[in-house]
Amino acid sequence: MSKNILSLENIEKSFGKVRSLRGVDFKVDQGEVVGLVGENGAGKSTLIKIISGLFPPDRGRILWEGREVSIGSVKKARELGIETVHQHRLTVDTLEVSDNIFLGREIKKSFGPFKFIDRAAQRRRAAELMEELGLDQNPGRLVSRCSGAEKQGLEVARALQFNARLLILDESTVGLNIEGIKQLRRFTNKVTSGGVGCIFITHDFRYILDLAHRFVFMSQGRIVAELPNKDIDVKKLEEFIININLQS
C-alpha cells in the first residue's frame, strides 16, 4: 500500500456569503494521480489554493505525511514539497523565461562577501528543463513575447524544477497544444512513477482517463463521489457527471 502524503479533513471555506467548501475530506497518496473533476464554481481551485498556502481554511485539518500542519504561506507549501501550476497564470511578463522559473528561489553565486543571481546557471538549467519537457523555448526570451501555451509550459517547468512531493495541475492543459498536452501527460507519468503525488484538474477528463488512478467529483463545495479508475470509460464518466450535476 502506498504511503499517504496529504490528507484534508472537513475543510470549510467561505468568501462572504459564498460557501465555497462545505466540509471536504480529500487525500493523495505517494505516486497517485487524483483526477479532480466538477462543474464551474464547484470549489476545485479554492481547495487547491488552500493546499498551496494562498489562504488558510476557515475550519478543518491538514495532515502532511500523517502530521498536522498549518500551511500558511506559499513558501511553507513549497518547503513541504507542494508545487502548483495555478489556473490563472502567475508569470511575470517583464522578466525573461529563466528568471520566471527561478523567481524567489534564484540560483546564487558568491563574489567575496556578496551574493549575486547566477543568470548563466539559471539559463542553463532552464534550457535543460525546457528540453526535458520538449518545449522549444529560449530561456532568455521575455515572457511578454511568449504565447499562452508557452507561458503555461513555463509554469509547468517551474513546478517541476523543485523536486516536488506533490504536483498540482489546475487546468494546466488550457493553452497547451496537443503536443504540449502529451508532454505534460508523459511528465506527470514519469514523476508519479517515481513516487510524487499529483492532483490533476481538467475540464476535459479524456486527458486523464488513463492517467488518473482515482477520480474525485466535486459539486457545490462538496465531494459528491469518488471512483477508482478501473472499468471506467468516457461514456460512463460522462453519464456519471451528468447525473451528479442533475442531482445537485
Ligand X SMILES: Nc1ncnc2c1ncn2[C@@H]1O[C@H](COP(=O)(O)OP(=O)(O)OP(=O)(O)O)[C@@H](O)[C@H]1O
Burial 185-196 (b: 16+ CB within 10 A, else e): bebbeebbeeeb
Residue type for 7, please? Answer: S
Could you say which of Mg ion, ligand X, none residue 71 binds, taking C-beta under 5 to 8 angstroms by partner kind? Answer: none
Binding ligand X (rule: CB under 6 A), the pick from 6, 34, 37, 43 is 43
State the nearest-atom distance from the C-beta of 237 to Mg ion, in Å: 19
Choice between 87 and 229, CB closer to Mg ion: 87
DSSP assignment string, 34-45: EEEEE-TTSSHH
**Subset of 56-95 contacting ligand X (CB under 6 A):** 87
Please, what sign has the CA dihedral across residues 131, 133, 137, 139? negative
Residue 97: which of 127, 131, 133 has the closest Cα?
127
Binding ligand X (rule: CB under 6 A), the pick from 32, 33, 45, 101 is 45
Choice between 187 and 217, CB closer to ligand X: 217
Q: Which helix (H) or strand (E) holds 239?
A: helix 234-247
Q: What are phi and psi of 241, to 5 degrees?
A: -65, -40
87 lines the binding site for Mg ion (CB under 5 A): yes
Binding ligand X (rule: CB under 6 A), the pick from 24, 44, 80, 98 is 44
Could you say which of Mg ion, ligand X, none residue 20 binds, taking C-beta under 5 to 8 angstroms by partner kind? Answer: ligand X
How far apart CA 224 and CA 59 sit, in angstroms, is 19
Measured CA distances, 208 to 70, 107, 151, 164 (Å): 30, 34, 21, 20
State the nearest-atom distance from the C-beta of 186 to ligand X, in Å: 25
**Piece of 5-13, 41-49, 61-69, 118-126 that binds Mg ion (CB under 5 A):** 41-49
Quickly count: other Cβ atoms within 10 Å of residue 64's Cβ.
19
**Piece of 41-49, 102-110, 113-121, 239-247 that binds ligand X (CB under 6 A):** 41-49
Residue type for 190, please? Answer: K
**Subset of 7-26 contacting ligand X (CB under 6 A):** 15, 18, 20
42 lines the binding site for ligand X (CB under 6 A): yes
Choice between 18 and 234, CB closer to ligand X: 18
Give the binding site for ligand X (CB under 6 A): 15, 18, 20, 38, 40-46, 87
